[in-house]
Structure 1
Amino acid sequence: MDFRLTEDQRALKRGVRVLLDRRFGREALRAAVDGGGVLDRALWRELGAAGFFALRLPEAAGGVGLGLPEAVLLFEEAGRALLPGPLIATHLAAGEVPGAAEGQAVVAAADGELVEWLDAADVVLGPAEGASPIRSVDPLTPLHRLPGGVPRPGTADLVSLLSAAEQLGSAGRTTELAVSYARTREQFGRPVGGFQAVKHLCAGMLVRTELARAAVYAAAVTADPVEIAGARLLADEAAVAGARDCLQVHGGMGFTWEADVHLHLKRAWVRAERGLGGAAAEELVAARL
């Protein structure tokens, strides 16, 4: 089986990156952080017009007619850009909730104990009674806690796979940030990337990212629950450990509010709590083994 991306898939990935670089670049990211997690409805509609939410809907139903592998590529780019909002819930609701496919409706989902973007949602899928707001470590992901919440039937695997794709995108981006900083930041008259300890950090980030990439892309093709669980574990590790190593490469600068590295780490922590959690994923893989 050939897991290499087709030319159409590469073009899709490039197109999404161009759109997000134009519409949600660093200035927009920092404005969103300073705005306290207010959802940009104009951006949401633009994503809808670009087919982000309707990607997997059949063309006969007004969708793009593509599959899960292409959705993974979209969410990888969204994770790379730290795009905020209940992207997965709205994507999964396309075709079920009027306006979701076009980006006219924002959909949140009571999947598990944590509910993202509940106050900004036009529609909430699943019972959300008793949800209470909690302080989120990620300034771009408002959270509510739902006591006793459980994933909605039939959604846990898809939520986990698309979350893994976002984690993969974030891991790739922090690797880029670390390498770029290591090449330009100098100490003792030479780039810090010339020091062995920094080389090892960057190499480890790259290895974790590419291992997760292979697993996530393969799981998108097979849609096997156990392969999705394994891909999720690898992607969570790549995103969290990668952001931590990126902080180390940046040194004291990485811990400042002005740097973007901490935003990737905080988002990775929140994503890791979605859908099939780490312990459940480990048990599922262990049972298959």
Structure 2
Amino acid sequence: MRFQLTGEQRALREATRQLLERRFDAGALRAAAAEPGLDRVLWRELGAAGVFALRLPEAEGGVGLGLPEAVLVFEEMGRALLPGPVLATHLAAGSVPGAATGEVVVTSVDGALVEWLAEADVVLGDAVGAVPLRSVDPLTPLHRVRASGPEGPDGLDRQGDTDRPDDPEGPDDPEGPDGPDPVAVLLTAAEQLGTATRACELAVQHARTREQFGRPIGAFQAVQHLCADMLVRAETARAAVYAAAVTGDIPDIAAARLLADEAAVRGVRDCLQVYGGMGFTWETEVQLHLKRTWVRAHRGGGITQSEELLARDLLGPGR
């Protein structure tokens, strides 16, 4: 199948990138990482731009576009590392008053984790008794929900964990009523794709300008291989994510999520290799991308549930 973006889709992607470059550039990213907090003015601007109401019908005050367009917008937000519970607010645009316009910030309980709980106006799900966690990503504050169940060695309840496929009929069933929302899984994959793309861009830029032994490090074959592998993984994930946005099939979404997670996590790690030790320092953008990919990888059941869904589809029912 030959997949090409329409002129309107390309214009939407470009407009989203321009908005983010204007309102959340590298300086704003660094400032947000140093002093975490939700920019309510930017949030309302996103609402005015239609980010949250993108898939809401025009009759209900929305933009009236579809999942492919939402994927393009979320890809750009992933590329920019935009902070905030954008996914939860987008999904709640049709049910929570004020979410579509950005006047209300919505978060949700995802398994045992809640992102941006302290900043949210509305919380979907039971977050009573949630305890703050020290998030690896300074741009994504996290809380963990305590439920009634067996505790692990660290004192945290294990009943809410999302990576346990041992009970196919229980709440962790990826196709059950408590399984992850396929749209949420796909839009998370789109964000991961954006990060994978940005990591490749950063690696290539650094390889062209950083010199060792009198020439750019991009002239060395080992660095070229790293950059080529990053590009291949990102473009493979892009094809899968875009195709899943068109078909909307759950197995396609699961496959897209697996490929996007791999492209993001491995891509940023390879980008760190290109940067060398400098990539781990606070001054670079690379380390922030790696931390965000780790946090996103736990959303919507994480890798385990996507693997379970894909395996069931490949093996057939009852296998």
Q: TM-score, normalised by structure 2?
A: 0.88
Q: Which residue is equivalent to 1:192?
A: 217
Name the aligned partner's letter for residue 25 of structure 2: G
Q: Secondary structure at the match of 2:128?
A: coil
Cα distance in 2 between the residues matched to 1:94 and 1:120: 17
User: C-alpha displacement at 1:42, in angstroms?
Assistant: 0.4
Cα distance in 1 between the residues matched to 2:58 and 2:106: 22
Q: Secondary structure at the match of 1:144?
A: strand
Q: Deviations over 1:49-84 (max 9, x none)?
A: 000000000111110000000000000000000000
Does the 8 Å contact 1:157/1:276 carry over to 2?
no
Q: Between the two proteins, what is the percent identity of the paired residues?
A: 70
Q: Secondary structure at the match of 2:136?
A: coil
Q: Which residue is equivalent to 1:60?
A: 59
Does the 8 Å contact 2:280/2:287 carry over to 1?
yes
Structure 2, unaligned stretches of length 5 or more?
147-158, 161-170, 315-319
Q: Secondary structure at the match of 1:140?
A: coil
Q: Deviations over 1:210-260 (max 9, x none)?
A: 000000000011111111011000000000000000000001211111101
Q: Secondary structure at the match of 1:95?
A: coil
User: C-alpha displacement at 1:130, in angstroms?
Assistant: 2.1
Cα distance in 2 between the residues matched to 1:112 and 1:126: 10
Q: Which residue is equivalent to 1:129?
A: 128
Alpha-carbon RMSD across the aligned residues, in angstroms, is 1.3
Q: Which residue is equivalent to 2:309?
A: 284
Q: Which residue is equivalent to 1:11?
A: 11
Does the 8 Å contact 2:278/2:284 carry over to 1?
yes
Larger Rg: 2
Q: Secondary structure at the match of 1:257?
A: coil
Structure 1 stretches of 4+ with a deviation exceeding 6 A read none
Does the 8 Å contact 1:156/1:276 carry over to 2?
no
> What does 1:161-180 align with in structure 2 at a 5 Å threshold?
161-180=186-205
Q: Which residue is equivalent to 1:230?
A: 255
Cα distance in 1 between the residues matched to 2:280 and 2:117: 29
Cα distance in 1 between the residues matched to 2:180 and 2:76: 21
Cα distance in 2 between the residues matched to 1:224 and 1:217: 12
Cα distance in 1 between the residues matched to 2:28 and 2:115: 20
The structure carrying a bigger helix percent of its residues is: 1
User: C-alpha displacement at 1:3, in angstroms?
Assistant: 2.1
Q: TM-score, normalised by structure 1?
A: 0.97
Structure 1, unaligned stretches of length 5 or more?
none
The partner residue of 2:293 within 255, 258, 268 is 268
Number of residue equivalences = 288
